[in-house]
Amino acid sequence: MPELPEVETVRRGLARSVVGKRIEEVTIFDPSLVKGLSAGAFVRGLERRSIAEVSRRGKYLLFRLDSGKTWAVHLRMTGRMLFKKNDRPVREKATRAILKFGRDGLHPKGCSFLWFSDSRRFGEWHLVRKPEEIPGIAKLGPEPLEITREEFVQRLKSRRGQIKPLLLDQAFLGGLGNIYACEALYRAGINPKRKPCSISFYNKIELYHNIQVILKEAIRAGGASVRSYRRSDGSKGWFALRLKVYGREGSKCSRCCRTIRRIKLSGRGTYYCPGCQK
C-alpha cells in the first residue's frame, strides 16, 4: 500500500504536471470509485474546472479546484495516478477513471491525461467543500513530519497495547504505514511488541528521530516500489533497495546476523530482528 513517502512523491509529481490545467472531460469506468455522491454529480463537479493546488493530508491526495471545492483521492492498496502527455492512454482492465485536460502552452499539439488504475479496486475519490468532511481525514492525527518531539513523546505517554499497532493507528499519526513503522522500530532498536509506556524516554526520542529520518530518505528516493506502486510518471521508487527488515523474513540482520522474523500484530505482517530489537 502506498504510504506517506509514496503519496508525497505522487503529489510532487502531479503538482508539477497538473496545477493550472483545466479538466475538460472526466470518464468514470467504475462508479463505485466515487464516494458520497453519484458518479454523474462528481463528473459535473470536476469538468471545466482548473486545478489550483495539489496537497496531501496523511495518505490522501488533495486537489483544490478553482471552484473552491476539493477533489480528494485515496490510493489504498493498488491505486496509481499516472500523467500521460498527448496520447489518450489505452484503457486496461484495472483502469477506473481517466481525466482529460485541455491544451496548454506545454502541450499545444495535443491534450494530456490523468489516468487512475487500481487492480484491487479499493481506491476512493471524494468531492467536498472541505477535506475535513471526509471521515478518514477528520480523524487523522498529526503529520509525522510536522509533529514535534515533545508532542510525540507526550502522545506515547501512558499508552498500553503494543507500539507497532499504535504507530499504524492513523488517529495517532496520519500517514505512517507498515513498511516505515517496521523500519523505524528496527533503526531505533525497539521490539514491535513492546508497550509504549515501557519504552524509555531516550528510546522514544530515538524512535521519533528515526521516523523523521526514514520518511525523508524515502521521499528523496521516490518511495518504495515493493509491489504495485509507481510514481506519477510510471517509474519506480528505489527505496525498497534500502529496506533492512521489511520483506526480509529469513535473511540475516545486517547488524547482528540474527535471522529476521515475521509475525502478525493486529493482523499486519511485522518484520523485526529478535537480536537488535529489545
Parallel, antiparallel or unpaired: strands 60-65 and 70-74 = antiparallel
Neighbours of 204 (CB within 10 A): 21
**Taking phi first (over 0 means left), then psi (-120 to 50 degrees means alpha), and beta for anything else, what does residue 266 get?**
left
Report whether 113 contacts 84 (CB < 8 A): yes
* DSSP 8-state class, residue 171: T
How many Å separate Cα 68 from the centre of its chain? 24
Secondary element (H or E) of residue 42:
helix 39-46
- What is the C-alpha end-to-end distance of the chain, expressed in Å? 27
Q: How many CA atoms lie within 13 A of 223 on its CB side?
A: 28
Residue for grid cell 525498497: 240
Residue among 277, 235, 238, 236 at smallest CA distance from 260: 277
Report whether 246 contacts 181 (CB < 8 A): no
Residues with a known catalytic role: 2-3, 59, 268
Report whether 70 contacts 130 (CB < 8 A): yes
Report whether 21 contacts 104 (CB < 8 A): yes
- What does the CA dihedral 134, 232, 247, 122 come to, rounded to 10 degrees? 40
Tell me the C-alpha to C-alpha distance, in Å, between residue 175 and each of 29, 94, 113, 168, 170.
Answer: 28, 25, 27, 8, 7
